[in-house]
């Protein structure tokens, strides 16, 4: 579980996401499937808890609460969709 409290903490992950431009598949609102650098897909869940945005990724980094580029990519798409609602 990755708490998206500030951009700084996510800066590296966002940078990686921009570099790699992973494919992000929309499953449902808050549920995404993001392609990793090895080609396999990871599922990312985005939600809000107590006003804090949270992204949950099932990759090795994500499970260790480290911001990964999958979470950053999914969060980018998620906030775009959320703002259209
Ligand atoms: Zn991940």
Structure tokens at 74: 């999914």
Structure tokens at 79: 């906030």
12-33 pLDDT per residue, tens: 999 999 999 999 999 999 999 9
Neighbouring CB atoms inside 10 A of 36's CB total 17
Q: Residue 41 C-alpha to ligand 1 middle, in angstroms?
A: 9
Alpha helices, H only, the chain: 7-20, 60-63, 69-84
Q: Residue 6 C-alpha to ligand 1 middle, in angstroms?
A: 18
62-85 pLDDT per residue, tens: 999 999 999 999 999 999 999 988
Q: Residue 84 C-alpha to ligand 1 middle, in angstroms?
A: 25
Q: Residue 73 C-alpha to ligand 1 middle, in angstroms?
A: 9
**Quick one: DSSP state of residue 67?**
-
pTM: 0.91
């Amino acid at each position: 579980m990755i708490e998206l409290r500030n951009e700084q903490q996510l800066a590296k992950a966002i940078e990686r996401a921009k570099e790699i431009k992973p494919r992000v598949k929309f499953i449902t609102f808050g549920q995404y499937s993001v392609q990793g650098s090895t080609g396999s897909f990871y599922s990312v869940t985005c939600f809000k808890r107590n006003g804090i945005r949270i992204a949950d990724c099932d990759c090795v980094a994500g499970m260790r609460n480290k911001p990964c580029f999958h979470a950053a990519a999914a969060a980018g798409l998620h906030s775009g969709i959320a703002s259209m609602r």
